[in-house]
Structures are given as structure tokens and as C-alpha cells.
Structure 1
């Protein structure tokens, strides 16, 4: 059987107090506000990095999208939102964390969108800015068809430290959730002896780190381990389940009231006829899926089951 895939958010009681205490309290509040403002606008940016940490203090838990939530994924391009025209008109944007800065996330938030930030958690990519932090011993076999990528030893403390830093960066960007890719090394020729238990432990680690910042976590493919991590993930991002006739494997996500953000890569895209779209969108196990049809480079082009294209 082919592997499932090769890829891939009180009001205080007011007691009567003497005037001097009120004045002292106001002064202290002013100092604290200035300190916070100074911290948020201080140094620490690298390159185009801009820090925009969401105010998580008012959020009791991570954002939980609902079944049927509409979405777009574009991890190929740096989004250009300068003209104020944000398309398609969907609820969620899944974007590359490294290519897009905090201003992009803020612009999407200001337009009422939720932002999922993509990064590869289970593979080394030789073009990422933190590539030199990996040890040679962390790297396994190359990913078939993806030059410059290698499977990672997801049990390595060094790898986990790097991923914790990436998750913090996602929080600094203002992301509502993370989309950690390539957590299914156990189903591929990884060269590291990775097992399903390794991936279960790793996904729980990633979700735990994201929860520190009140961010949600998605499970990318890896349907075999879904029952073991269903309680810690907030959605699934599933690729090519129609192609591999595996959409039904992910039904527990829908049954839990959580969405499946579903991607197919039709051979005839971007020129699919209506019959091809209907056949793809009505396949077994797709009830409740939020389906997009994409090119394999995952750029801006997208088509939906209602046959609208952007």
C-alpha cells in the first residue's frame, strides 16, 4: 500500500480607596504600559521578521475551527496584500511561516481571517534560515521527489528544540495555528527507523508547545496515528486522500466536530472540466471535508467544489 502521502486564539471589582492609592495605582499602570510597549517595539527582529504577538491573556484556549470551515493554502508565495484585495473570500489562510511576516498575519486578522502557519516539522529543508542548527545525526534519507529535504529524527532533543523555536516564531508572527508537515516519516523510507509511536510522541510534543501560546495544531496526513492524537489536534490537513482512496480514515476528525482541510492535486488542474470536479468532490469519505484543488507547488491558484477558481 502506498504511504498516505509524501507531503504533505473580568471586569474587576472597584473598591473605594484613598486618593493617594488611586494615584499610585495609575502611575504603576502607566509604567507597566510603557514597559510593554517598549518591549513590543524593541529590537530582536531578524531580516523581515516583525513581532506581532496576539493577546493570548484573554483567551482561555486555542482556536477551534468547525467542520466545514472554508480555507485556502498558499505556501509557495509570499502573500502580497498591499492592495487590500484578499482573495479568495474564505475563513482561513494556511501560509508559509518563514515567507510571511507578522504584518501579513495582522492584515489577514484585520480582514477577519484566521491564519494557520505552515512549516515542516519532520523534514530538514536546506533553504530554511535555521538549517545550520541541525546536526548531521538528525538527518535521515532524502524525501523522494523533493530535492534538499531529508527526514528528521523526530525523537532527537536537538530537533525538538528547533521545532519549539519555530513554534515560538509562529506565535511571534501572530499565527492562530500551526500546520507541521511531514510527521508521517514512519510510513516512508526514512532511514532512521522511525515508528508510529515516534510520530505520536512528536505530534503530542508539537501540540503541547503550540498550546503554550494558545495556538491550535493540525495533524498533517498520518491517518494511522489519528486515534492516538485526536484529543490534542484541532484539525487535519489531508492530501490526496481521494487519489489514494483513504478519506474515510480521517472520519474521526469530522465525528469530533473538527474540520478536515482537504487538498487534491488533479492531473488536469488548472483546467479541470466540471465532470472531473464533481467526481473528485463526491468521492467516498469526503462528507464534511473542506476541499480545495491545488497545483502541486501549492501556489495561489485554487479551485473549489462549487467550481469557483482564484
Structure 2
């Protein structure tokens, strides 16, 4: 058995190395600028493949026929799976052992409210990993091209609130688990994204994962003045994917921004948001908090274009700063990179 495991791991490492060249990759790696739709709830009948977006993210619980319908329309289908929580409305919830169930997932950093029925899981648990791999297998069998793994940031959250079992998840635990998530999805020749890449070795994670999805990074970093994890460094961390020619899908919420300027598809974008998105190389959607597939779902894409004079902003700033690796956590280095980028973007002649 041991030699067989060794051969499997060796083959996976060779395949991962080959993915440095996109054409050699066995799974889909979306390039920067790829358009996307992000639908997290709703019925199969609500899925509308007529939107021109290339990537559709839908819940993994939808029917295989829905995935097939999207693929016939030329879409790449990413299936949403929560890898870090147990949700009591899922069919496999009863499989989680009590010892692996932590606190309810908080709404917001102050945890004044919680998401009912959703608990953090112990990512160190072999039982949890077996359940998650079964979810990946099910997604593969339904025809999903990739996986959108949520809640793989337990180490930075309070997981003991109203806990069934008190346990801790350290940065090392999360690093190991996230690496396992990427390698497990790739084992089934599927694409995998990193949701809200934080300070956890982003250079390494950007090498493992195929794309990133970030929420509210522009709101918190440039206009909202929020905490560092939610925004200030979040946009900069995600640029590690752009450097590797991998897409960054950015979500901004209309309810957070309030007043706005540019109107696109009936939704009003904040002044400068799309210009900032294009400078980073991100694909940005403005959404409402209701992310269901029904008639209430509203979103619009930032117009995609390259602002004059902004090519290579990230690469040039990194070259000038000669930064240390993220793993060493010298945050002041990344502060300098961020300042450099903001100064350079301010000098660009934006079209939007």
C-alpha cells in the first residue's frame, strides 16, 4: 500500500508543477479578467445561463442536469461547498461527530448575532476530512468544473461561541487544512478557489489554489477604513494570484456603499470602484446581500478594461520594495507595497 500512495503523491506533485504552464493543467485555471456570476442559493429552475459570464458559481446541492445545462451554454461551473462549517440543512450533517462541532458561525466580528444552524468544524478531524472529500466526489460526479470552498479561515474566527465542543484551530492547523483542500480537489482534476485570502502564507496559497474570491476588499481598504483583515491588506494579498496569471473575483455589496455614482445594468457603482478594480486586475461584481437565484437577486459587473499607464503596477511595486515572504509576516513590508500601488494608481489615467 505504501508504494502505491507514494506513486499517487508523486504523480500529483508532477501535475501541480505542470500547472505552472496553464496549457498543461488538467483542470481549469481562469485568467485575470474572467467574468463571473455568484449565485449561492435558489432552485435549479432559477439558474439562467444566458448571462455572458464565463464562470458560474452555484451551490453544490443543485442537480447534475443544471450543471450540464450551464456547461452546454459554455460556462465553467464552480460548486459552492463549505469546507469549514457543518450546516444542519445539509444531508450529511448527521455524519459529523459531536467532538468535531464547534461554535455557531458569527455574523460580523463582534458576534452580536450568529448564523443559525451553522457551526465551525475541527479541521484537524479525520472524520471531517472524509466528509469533505465525499462532497468533492459528489461535485465531480455532478459535472462541476471546480469548487468554491467557503469558511477555510477558522483560525481567525471565534469558534467557541455556543460550542458543542471547545477546540482551537491554529494558523498551522489552517495552513495544513487549506493545503489539503487544494490538493484534494486537484486529485479529482477540478479547479479550486481561495475565499478571502488573508495573511496565512498567501504566496504559498496562491501557488496551490487556481483563483481567489474576495468580499468587500475595496470598501474596507480604500473607503470604509475597516480592520486590516477585512480589507486593508486583503486586496494586496489577492494580487499574489494576479502575479501568477490567475483570476481574482471581487464581490462588493451595494448596501455597504450607500450613495454611489456610475450606473451599470441598473445598479449604481461607487465613484472610483471600477477604476480601482481594473488597476488591480480584478473582476468585480456589485451585488446585494440577497445572493439567491430568484427574482430578488441583483448584480452588475464592472466594465472590464485596462487603464492607461497601469500595466504591471503590482510587479513593479514588489520589485521596488524587495519584500520578504508573507510567511515571515513582516506586515510593514506589505504596507510599503500597498502605498506604492496606491500612489501609482493615482497617477493612472482611468477611463472609468
Please classify the TM superposition score into its range, dividing by the shorter chain length. 0.7 to 0.9
CA–CA separation in structure 2 for the residues paired with 1:189 and 1:285: 34
Match of 1:207 in 2: 182
Shift of 1:285: 8.7
- Number of residue equivalences: 246
CA–CA separation in structure 2 for the residues paired with 1:125 and 1:60: 33
Q: 200, 205, 217: which is aligned to 2:192?
A: 217
Q: Deviations for 1:91-146, whole angstroms, at most 9, x for unmatched residues?
A: 01000001x11111111111111000001100111111111001111111111122
Unaligned residue ranges in structure 1 (runs of 5+): 1-58
CA–CA separation in structure 1 for the residues paired with 2:244 and 2:34: 14
The answer to whether structure 1 residue 280 and structure 2 residue 242 are counterparts is: no
Q: 120, 130, 137: which is aligned to 1:161?
A: 130
Check whether the contact 1:81–1:104 (CA below 8 A) recurs between aligned residues. Answer: no
TM-score by structure 2 length? 0.65
Match of 1:143 in 2: 105
CA–CA separation in structure 2 for the residues paired with 1:220 and 1:140: 21
SS in structure 2 at match of 1:306: coil
C-alpha change, 1:87 and 1:79, in structure 2 (3 Å) is farther
CA–CA separation in structure 1 for the residues paired with 2:57 and 2:279: 20
Q: Which moved more, 1:235-244 or 1:176-185?
A: 235-244
Match of 2:288 in 1: 295
Shift of 1:249: 2.0
Q: Which moved more, 1:156-165 or 1:201-210?
A: 201-210
Check whether the contact 2:83–2:149 (CA below 8 A) recurs between aligned residues. Answer: yes
Match of 1:178 in 2: 147
Check whether the contact 1:70–1:92 (CA below 8 A) recurs between aligned residues. Answer: yes
SS in structure 2 at match of 1:179: strand
Match of 1:86 in 2: 49
TM-score by structure 1 length? 0.74
Unaligned residue ranges in structure 2 (runs of 5+): 1-23, 108-114, 161-166, 222-233, 263-267, 305-352
Q: Deviations for 1:13-43, whole angstroms, at most 9, x for unmatched residues?
A: xxxxxxxxxxxxxxxxxxxxxxxxxxxxxxx
Q: 70, 73, 91: which is aligned to 1:111?
A: 73
Check whether the contact 2:82–2:149 (CA below 8 A) recurs between aligned residues. Answer: yes
The answer to whether structure 1 residue 102 and structure 2 residue 64 are counterparts is: yes
CA–CA separation in structure 2 for the residues paired with 1:292 and 1:276: 10
Q: 209, 212, 216: which is aligned to 1:236?
A: 212
Check whether the contact 1:247–1:285 (CA below 8 A) recurs between aligned residues. Answer: no
CA–CA separation in structure 2 for the residues paired with 1:174 and 1:101: 10
Match of 1:264 in 2: 252
CA–CA separation in structure 2 for the residues paired with 1:244 and 1:298: 20
Match of 1:304 in 2: 301
SS in structure 2 at match of 1:64: coil
The two structures, once aligned, show a CA RMSD in angstroms of 2.3
CA–CA separation in structure 1 for the residues paired with 2:76 and 2:51: 13
Which runs of structure 2 are paired with 1:33-44 in the superposition (5 Å)?
none
Match of 1:71 in 2: 36
CA–CA separation in structure 2 for the residues paired with 1:255 and 1:69: 15
Match of 2:318 in 1: none
Q: Which moved more, 1:250-259 or 1:191-200?
A: 191-200
CA–CA separation in structure 2 for the residues paired with 1:303 and 1:121: 28
Check whether the contact 1:247–1:286 (CA below 8 A) recurs between aligned residues. Answer: no
Match of 1:36 in 2: none
C-alpha change, 1:111 and 1:71, in structure 2 (3 Å) is same
